[in-house]
Amino acid sequence: MNKHVGTSVSGAEGEDLSKNSEIHLDAGFMASVAGAVGTPFYCYSPEVIARAYEELSAALSPVDVSICYAVKANGNLAILQLLSRLGCGMDIVSGGELERVLEAGAPASRVIFSGVGKSASEIAKALVAGVHQINVESPAEFHLVADIAASLRRRAPVALRVNPDVDARTHDKISTGKKGDKFGVALSEVAGLFEAAAARPEIDMVGLAVHIGSQILDLAPYRHAYGVLADLVRDLRAKGHSVRRLDLGGGIGIAYGAQGAPEVSELAAIIDETLGDLGCALTVEPGRWLVGRAGALVTTVLYTKEAGDRMLAIVDAGMNDLMRPALYGAVHPLEVVRSAAGGEGQSYGLVGPVCESSDIFGLYDGLPTLSAGDLVAFRCAGAYSASMASTYNARDLVPEVFVSNGRFRIVRRRQTTAELLALEKDTTWHDIASSQAP
């Protein structure tokens, strides 16, 4: 059983949450939408997303840093449209995300293609679309990008993602910038690849990228990584290479509970102090920070029961809908949207219906008495929540809904089991020797 103690949004501890979690999803609205679309569903506030974007761009504009949203945090089309219209660029990690951002109307010229395992067809699609930059993560990928660009008679704008060997002091499963992590090119290999680029005219080596991890609450690792990057730029320039752009990654953490989160103005100051004098075009790629606080997963209590010395509330959302607790022991703040019995001071383990012992959202104290039919919401579920959902246990993907100004808009409808079953129908045997299996 997950030993983390969650935090109820209501009550004294909720005061601590308000500053950084900017909760503007009204419980009454969530209850009405639950009546209209059924549970579970994801509920988002477009205002909270827009405000986060405006706050970040205001903090970063004095240091002239542009923003590309890390689509993997939440790739819903309506969210991409919203951010794109506000002027935000996009950071993608797959061909599917490329299709998504283009469908949302984002210009390819504002798209950065990141990721450690891009396939040849994804690289080709990105070059044909005309993306702003491809962040290359290995010598082998560098040569593949060059070969594909040559065959397409295009020039590939490439930045090298370097592994700065910095500990982001976050969860092991979301740390990406330490020596031995799978991401990026070792510092010792960077100059050699800049040399190699000089011999490959189809590569336009534009600069460097770093991304040290996610949910980073202590900004010191950024200072460390950006310092390493600045030294690298000076070293490359001394060797005669041009370094025009720096992509500074994402990873800025948000407050999921009572713990504080960093101020983006402090990050801006660190960028200015470490990299401000290099004359490079700067970009950051936040995902969680822009959308994490803007969402909630609303779910109905199906049953309560005793298990040993504790009470469990079994809800209709499971680890397939919201995977972060099972994946990294994350605890989302819980809000009781509607409790028939009322009361206070109760403790429950909130668990889902999936047949896995890890399908546990956490232990929560200070709750009213819960009973079947009550509604609860896991807050701060705008990032790495719907985007990580699966259909495990043949559970259909749940709807996503925008709530704004007393209205709601379904931005992804509920999947049906028939849609999933359709993928498995009309199957035929193919002769392996003579067929080109798809």
Ligand X SMILES: *Cc1c(COP(=O)(O)O)cnc(C)c1O
Residues that bind ligand X (CB under 6 A): 70, 72-73, 91, 114, 211, 214, 249-252, 285-289, 383
Classify the phi-psi angles of 184: left when phi > 0, otherwise alpha if psi is within -120 to 50, otherwise beta.
Answer: left
Q: Which amino acid is at 302?
A: L
Nearer to ligand X, 17 or 93 (CB): 93
What's the rounded Cα separation, in Å, for the pair 294 and 288?
10
Nearest to 319 by CA among 288, 376, 360: 360
Nearest to 315 by CA among 349, 343, 357, 346: 349
Catalytic residues: 355
Q: How many CB atoms lie within 10 A of CB 256?
A: 25
Give the separation between CA 94 and CA 92, rounded to whole angstroms: 6
| Residue recorded with tokens 């040993």 | 308
Nearest to ligand X of 167, 396 (CB atom): 167
β-strand partners of 43: 296, 401
Amino acid in position 48: V
Degrees to nearest 5, angle at CA 169 with 164 and 170? 110
The answer to whether the CB of 133 falls within 8 A of the CB of 206 is: yes
C-beta closer to ligand X: residue 14 or 249? 249
Helix (H, G, I), strand (E, B) or coil at 291: helix
Task: Between 163 and 299, name the residue whose CB sits nearer to ligand X.
Answer: 163
Q: Which is nearer to ligand X, 311 or 388 (CB)?
A: 388
